[in-house]
Amino acid sequence: MAQNSPSSPGIKKPVSKVFLVLFFLILALSSCGASAVLEISPGEAAQRLKKGDIGFILGAEVSRMPELSRLDPSAPFYAGLLTEAAGDRLRSARLFEAALTSPIVKVKKEAARKLIPALAELKDTDQAERILRVLQKNKSAAETELAVLHGTALYVLGRYGEAAAQFRAADPGENGDTAAWNRALLFLAEVMQRRPGMLPSREVEPFFLDSPPGPAYRRAYEEILSSGEYAFSSADRTAAAGRLAVSGGAYTEALVHFDSIRTSQGALFFRYPALLSDLGRAYTAVPSKRETGFSLFTGWESALRTGRNSPVQLDPAEQKTIRYTLLFYAGRIRRQQGKHGEAADFFTRALAIAPDAVQEDACIWYILSSAMTEKPETVPALVKTYASRWNQDDEFYDILDRLSTYLLAEKKWNDLADVFTAIRNSKDGATVARYAYLMGRAVSLGYVSGRGMNAAAYFTVAYEEGNASFYYRALAASYLGKTVTPAAENAGTGRGGNAAAQFPNGAELEFYVKFFDLGAGSYAMKYLRENMDRYTKYEMRTLAGTFAGAGRYLESIQIVGLYMRRNGYVMETEDLELYYPKPFSQLIEKYARDNGLHPQMFFGLIRTESAFIPDIASHAGAMGLAQIMPATAKEVAEVIKKRGGPDLAGDGGIDLTDPEINVRMGAVYLKDLTDSLGSPMLALLAYNGGPARIRRLRRAAPSLPEDLFVETIGITETRNYGKRVMAAAAAYGYLYYGMSMHEVVSNIFN
């Protein structure tokens, strides 16, 4: 074809080069998409991010990270979590920076929390300038995290006076990582204003010898060291290095540092209780040094108590704190050496001068724990002595759990009654319900007198106490002829109540929803745990539903369990339905029915084993919904094949992550255990602890009814497993199968 000439039809004048450049630029943009995200379409980028696929992010230039905002203004934050987990600090920091423009205040605050350490450690001045520009435009700059980030940017830019003023004004409180960074960077900003030269000990020591070690503490330590060889004294530097070693679990290294200053600068340990505690932790953790530590601590305590050869003069309050610490760690060391009687003596002495309620409870816990190990027969009397003195009842749950197991195994019924009387007014309803139910059974069987209460009265206490103990409430209800009936959904403020009162933090809930929309669902629970004390049960319930809707039933169950244990909680049906969900119902009901199992029990087993996570694996190698071990799977596959079923093994291995295969195998295995052991409850215990072990334990206690036999099993995991499945079965029976508590209990216990 001939070329067109200027006089050819349709061509009126030459096309300029500028026009051609613009034309092809527009064409190129339209072909790849003017709103492309890191070289791919927004739709594809969104799909890949939702799946957690960040390959397209890791392969892109760092400067292009803000493009993810085109998907969602908050997307950079969630993508930043994923890139941070992949070890890419540069891209994650740039993504968190981009997230500062999110319309969700919670996203901005959490992005700032991430940026503070990243900026302080990377010291990227360009990023610091960009962050300052964003914060100056940001209407949420008054938020504490953003205020500390503002100070961090000023610090990185060398504007130390402005940074110090910003940190002083931020006021992030005493606890948390933001508070730690604010404290450390304020310290550094004040130091850097006066470089070079030796820093007075009175300025260095309060920070390095009394602040909790952590990333911010380490950053300050490293910066002070790099500021000059004589930035702070050798003793202070060595003590700080020892504290950092303790925080990292390097206890032998810590003792090398501490021992080098102990003889020449021993007074440091008396001026700073945190430093003394670190010394105690190190001596406790290193077996070869325990006796040295014990002699040192008891010698120091004696010197302070008697006033002879005291290494330092302290006022009465300071002396009390130091003596407590010395006695407490002397007890810890003796306990680690297996000398539980001596340990208890030191904890008893420490208790008399404990500085606060937390330390009092720590001493009482160790006194009871030492006695449980060495002389368990003395523990009931100790509980009678200390139950009215301890402060946090739930801190003693494990001790009282071990004690009830011991008392039933040894048939010490009068001691059981004494302990119940001592803890009757405890706020730990789960423990009260346990002891009340056990006393009811002991009285009903004639093992012990009721001490003014009949069996029904004890069962009533168990039934009415403890929202956290559905197991004992269900058992008690079966004896009382009742059913554990939740309150109506509109009880209290309920659904018809005041929305502002129920959802005061409602604006934050979107923050958690986006974890699942933007591929970072596995990180959501961490953030919720940090904030859940602020959220109402209605907010927590909503979040539990969000997790369940994303198929994350384990976290959903955990969330409900957390707010169920709050003081004053009233159980509602909606909470129970979240706490005992019913996914995979067709599979579970089919194979329960095919194998003659009660579906409520099989649901309880699968919930307890896997929380309905199909691909979950235990540390021991059990797999899938019913947590089948590979060796067990091979045996069950042979059984199914011999009975005329399909060959689940086939030519290759058995896919235990396949829900249908796993549920089928779990049902067959549980049915065979039930037939072999003659009891659904014994089968459940054997499912966890092994049939040989359960047969042996049952032969050792043949006369005890099964519900009391369960209480005597010394393996905590197996004992609690049976209870958890039974409690779940009761809930499933009530919620979904119209069963009474008595029907559920009689189906499981012989």
Tell me, what's the pLDDT at 5? 36
10 Å Cβ neighbour count for 619?
Answer: 5
Which of the residue ranges 277-286, 504-513, 588-597 would you say has the lowest mean pLDDT? 504-513
Tell me, what's the pLDDT at 198? 61
Give the CB-side neighbour count of residue 546, counting CA atoms within 13 A.
Answer: 20
Packing angle of the helix pair 537-549, 509-517 (nearest 10 deg): 10
Structure confidence at residue 250 as a pLDDT band (50, 70, 90): very high
Q: What are the residues whose beta carbons fall under 8 Å from the beta carbon of 702, sequence distance 6 or more?
A: none
Tell me, what's the pLDDT at 293? 97
Average pLDDT over residues 455-463: 96
What pTM, to 2 d.p., does this model score?
A: 0.87
Percent of the chain whose pLDDT exceeds 90: 79
Tell me, what's the pLDDT at 339? 96
CA dist., res. 432 & res. 572, Å (int):
21
pLDDT at 26 over 60: no
Structure confidence at residue 50 as a pLDDT band (50, 70, 90): very high
The DSSP line for 89-118 is: HHHHHHHHHHGGG-S-HHHHHHHHHHHHHH
CA dist., res. 290 & res. 455, Å (int):
50
Tell me, what's the pLDDT at 140? 61
The token pair at 75 is: 């997307």
CA dist., res. 462 & res. 459, Å (int):
5
Structure confidence at residue 431 as a pLDDT band (50, 70, 90): very high
Q: Is the separation of the CB atoms in 683 and 725 below 8 Å?
A: no
CA dist., res. 663 & res. 656, Å (int):
9
pLDDT at 493 over 70: no
CA dist., res. 208 & res. 231, Å (int):
13
Tell me, what's the pLDDT at 311? 67
Tell me, what's the pLDDT at 467? 63
Average pLDDT over residues 558-571: 89
pLDDT at 689 over 70: yes
Q: Which DSSP category does 704 fall into?
A: S
Tokens 């799977």, located at residue: 633
Residues 354-387: tens digit of each pLDDT: 999 999 999 999 999 999 999 999 999 999 999 9
pLDDT at 543 over 90: yes
The DSSP line for 555-613 is: HHHHHHHHHHTSTT---BHHHHHHHS--TTHHHHHHHHHHTT--HHHHHHHHHHHHTT-
Q: Which DSSP category does 78 fall into?
A: H
Tell me, what's the pLDDT at 595? 97
**Mean pLDDT of all residues in the chain?**
90
Alpha-carbon dihedral sign for residues 116, 117, 121, 122: negative
Tokens 């610091």, located at residue: 128
CA dist., res. 168 & res. 160, Å (int):
12
The residue that leads in pLDDT, 26 or 524, is 524
Average pLDDT over residues 133-161: 89
Tell me, what's the pLDDT at 4? 38
Tell me, what's the pLDDT at 93? 95
Structure confidence at residue 8 as a pLDDT band (50, 70, 90): very low
CA dist., res. 46 & res. 52, Å (int):
10
Residues 184-239: tens digit of each pLDDT: 999 999 888 876 566 666 777 888 999 999 999 999 999 888 876 556 788 888 99
pLDDT at 16 over 70: no
CA dist., res. 418 & res. 379, Å (int):
11
Task: Tell me the residue ranges of DSSP E strands in 42-137.
Answer: none
Residues 570-607: tens digit of each pLDDT: 889 999 999 999 999 999 999 999 999 999 999 999 99
CA dist., res. 433 & res. 473, Å (int):
7
CA dist., res. 257 & res. 241, Å (int):
7
Tell me, what's the pLDDT at 225? 82
Packing angle of the helix pair 316-336, 273-285 (nearest 10 deg): 10
Tell me, what's the pLDDT at 199? 64
Q: Is the separation of the CB atoms in 106 and 508 below 8 Å?
A: yes
10 Å Cβ neighbour count for 331?
Answer: 30
Tell me, what's the pLDDT at 234? 84
Average pLDDT over residues 703-720: 95
Average pLDDT over residues 314-318: 86
